[in-house]
Amino acid sequence: MERSRRVEPFEQILKQPGVSLSFPRDPNSEYAVGRIDTSPCRLACPAGVNTKAYISLIAAGRFREALEVVRETNPFPGICGRVCVHPCESFCNRAQVDEPVAICRLKRFVADYELQHPQEPAGPLPVTQKEKVAIIGSGPAGLTAANDLIRKGYAVTVFEAMPKAGGMLTAGIPSFRLPRPIIEYEIDIIKKLGVEIKTGKKISGRRAIDKLFETGYDAVFIAIGAHKGKKLEIAGEDKYEGTLDASSFLYQVNLGRAPKLANRVAIIGGGNSALDAARSAVRLGSKAVTIVYRRSRKEMPANEWEIEDAESEGVKIQYLTAPVEILGRNGKVTGMKCTRISLGEPDESGRRRPIPVQASEFTFKAGNIIAAISQEPDLSFLPKKHEFDISKWRTFNVDESTLATSRPGVFAGGDAVTGPNTVIDAIASGHVAAQSIENYLNSQSLQQASDSKAAAKTSSPGSLDQLTLDSSSTTDLRATSLNGSGRRPDEFEIKVDIGQNRKKLRADMPIMSRSARIAGFDEAELGFSETAAVAEAQRCLRCGPCGECFICVSECEKTVSVMASTDGRRDALLRLPPEITTPNLQSWPLDGILNVGRRKPIPVQITPTTCTVEQEICRGCGECVSVCEYSAPMLIPKPNGLHVSIISERICRGCGTCVAVCPSSAIVQQYFSEDWLLGKLQSMDQTKRNVVIFTCNWNGTELVPPDLEAMSQPDANLIFIRTTCCGRIEPSFIFRALEHGADGVLAAGCPTSACHYSFGNRHATEHFSKVRNMLNLLGYSPEKFQWTWPDKNRDDGFIEAIGLHLRNMRDGKSCSEFVDENKTRAVTDA
């Protein structure tokens, strides 16, 4: 009888790579990328920071890229990540499920990540324009404009009256909210680009502005902020020593010249300055600090979370109380006479008008009184007679869309125009100023620019055809999207399906204990851990289809990982350029020629490392779907009522993480078969101590020294087995290594998101811990099974790490990575 052979099912043939109609990296196919709508968080941001994109990138563990996205529109991620009032969170759709995503704190996380993983900052940018720009004031508005202008090729000089740069960031915000090194670091980046900041250089005098033009500047941006504290305008205010205004008090505190305060301190006002002054007073040792505010808590302009923090630090708040006279004795303040207030009808600001209650006056004792009622720009730098249009609030009147003042070539922005306002508004105004200055210098009519902006507002932001891009227009699209669509956040048009989401409250910010906080000026909030940040970012509902992170564009330039093997003897995982991987493929493997330097060309076989599912084996359990970072597998229904997974070859990037979790071994990764593994393991020399080292290819290939002998200890034999990604390392690898005589097993791969595969180490750690617990029952010491995720950018990081672990294995020390991880977890949990 003829031996029966099973006929290969049709699906089996269909899923042969190359048979599918298109192959992903075909250079002839073009893809359009475009936005259909902007997410409400981004619409809410005055500076148009691409919130959704950076949150998505954090969720994918791509922290550096996330930070780059923030920096495109906001040069101060570390600063805004701490002190921004985050209007974005107020419009976050996640609030309808549980709580908004902690967008602001995530921004801080990526900024901190860079501090912990420093990179060489960008060097000076070339000056390509002949015009020079002078900026007065080095606060967020001034420096944002400087940052934009230097990138546009203009030489920029910033003049700062104070001894330190940073404007209100440095002078007004205390360091427990915003540590000085953060400000210095972010300003330093701008300086390194070539912006000149002249501190201690006050522009003033009769011909101050004229002189700037005369000394070669072609445009001026006035961004002096609002540093001058307003007076209470009550009796006794200037009579006694011990009355301060919050602005100068905070300035002294922040520049290290804090005045000595009495034990009882009263602060008058209800804004963030009042709270900052109160919390600073607590830290300077005052025992009874009280904020006196004339309305109720509901009307307080300060951020709710600031009020809570202040209260927890012991600050008392007297609501519905206003001072009427400052009292004193022997030239020193002793207190103030206050009156109770009742609230009447709402005024034009929408807050209820305070009305004094008759005959309710009482005396409030205090050794210091700090007025924190508001600030205004300090216009003393202008001569008595000048050509600027000044409002009744002592601010600059400017053209709303261009920030042009009444003098040509001079622009004003930030708090100097709005009065005391937020950092993010100042940044937004810096962007507008830079754009206007460029337009002005290009001798374009400002009005013309303003018209075109209005036109942009009316056109539909949705149509894809408008946005279809070729490679050259990528940057243009980015530029237009930075300006936002001009709509309000509540105009977000795409319906977000809220009901689908399970509740998961936002991550708590680890915070210093109360006693540690008030003991000094150290930063109170400690920042998210990596795990907490990723989990928090994953709460984002991703409103709207495209986040415009533009990772796709840069990713597309890379290619899929492809395995090249030479006669099955020596092999290497390579990422090959599209022209090699995309001939009209009919079947893999493909014969190719590998040229390495001037060596003889090597004939190679090329196989993609993409994964395929054996349809007859797959149980439809969905494990692959849940671990894939790229959404390549999908469960599809079968006629018998069950489901089966299929992996899209177009999406699969060949990391093999799914192969490692498939319970029925239904997923096949080409090349990385069981035979491949066994072949490697059989090379063990049973007379020596064998250590099997599974390395992720992308870290391992570059760094495993060609001469392995040098690394081997005299009695040890190292067997390196490279996988596409360490996510491929499954429990059976470790058991099989032991079965074949290994003495220990080490997994070495990249840290999270250090390569094009994001989370392999996370999966590998899970698998490894499980196996370690099982082997512990068998009596194997856990020290022999270790893992490490060294940073390949560190010199010798990989080799050092392997050396360390080999020593630990020999000495029976526990895995340092393991300990570290537990420590971090404990901190996060606490």
| Residues that bind other proteins in the complex, under the rule CB under 8 A | 1, 3-4, 6, 615-622, 625, 635, 637-638, 640-644, 660, 663-666, 674, 730-733, 735-736, 738-739, 770-771, 773-774, 776-779
Would you tell me how many other CB atoms lie within 10 Å of the CB of residue 351? 15
Q: Which is closer to other proteins, CB of 59 or CB of 660?
A: 660
Least distance (Å) between residue 45 CB and other proteins: 37
Structural contact between residues 100 and 89, judged by C-beta atoms closer than 8 angstroms: yes
Least distance (Å) between residue 672 CB and other proteins: 11
Least distance (Å) between residue 664 CB and other proteins: 4
Least distance (Å) between residue 11 CB and other proteins: 12
Q: Which is closer to other proteins, CB of 230 or CB of 689?
A: 689
Least distance (Å) between residue 771 CB and other proteins: 8
The residue type found at 173 is I
Structural contact between residues 110 and 116, judged by C-beta atoms closer than 8 angstroms: no
Please give the Cα distance from 328 to 331 (Å, whole number). Answer: 6
Least distance (Å) between residue 289 CB and other proteins: 53
Q: Which is closer to other proteins, CB of 644 or CB of 806?
A: 644
Please give the Cα distance from 783 to 786 (Å, whole number). Answer: 6
Give the β-pairing of 132-136 and 219-222: parallel
DSSP single-letter state for residue 159: E
* CA proximity to 58, closest of 724, 766, 538: 538
Sequence-ordered list of residues with C-beta below 8 angstroms from that of 116, at least 6 positions apart, any chain: none
β-sheet bridge partners, residue 613: 667
Least distance (Å) between residue 632 CB and other proteins: 16
Least distance (Å) between residue 502 CB and other proteins: 15
Q: Which is closer to other proteins, CB of 223 or CB of 764?
A: 764
Q: Which is closer to other proteins, CB of 13 or CB of 21?
A: 13
| Angle ∠(261,267,273) on CA atoms, nearest 5 | 105
Q: Which is closer to other proteins, CB of 613 or CB of 801?
A: 613
- Listing DSSP states for 505-569 in one string gives PPPPPPB--HHHHHTSSS-SB----HHHHHHHHTT----SS-----HHHHHHHS--EEEEEETTT
Q: Which is closer to other proteins, CB of 122 or CB of 636?
A: 636
β-sheet bridge partners, residue 83: none
Both structure tokens of 829: 């949990």
Q: Phi and psi (nearest 5°) for 425?
A: -70, -40
Burial (CB < 10 A; 0-12, 13-18, 19+), residue 482, is middle
Q: Which is closer to other proteins, CB of 427 or CB of 737?
A: 737
Q: Which is closer to other proteins, CB of 616 or CB of 796?
A: 616
Least distance (Å) between residue 500 CB and other proteins: 14
Least distance (Å) between residue 812 CB and other proteins: 14
Least distance (Å) between residue 789 CB and other proteins: 22
Helix (H/G/I), strand (E/B), else coil: 279:
helix
Least distance (Å) between residue 676 CB and other proteins: 12
For tokens 């400000």, the residue is 183
Structural contact between residues 212 and 134, judged by C-beta atoms closer than 8 angstroms: yes
Positive or negative: CA dihedral 488, 490, 493, 498: positive
Q: Which is closer to other proteins, CB of 1 or CB of 826?
A: 1
Sequence-ordered list of residues with C-beta below 8 angstroms from that of 198, at least 6 positions apart, any chain: 157, 158, 159, 160
Q: Which is closer to other proteins, CB of 294 or CB of 736?
A: 736
Q: Which is closer to other proteins, CB of 98 or CB of 739?
A: 739
Both structure tokens of 448: 């013309």
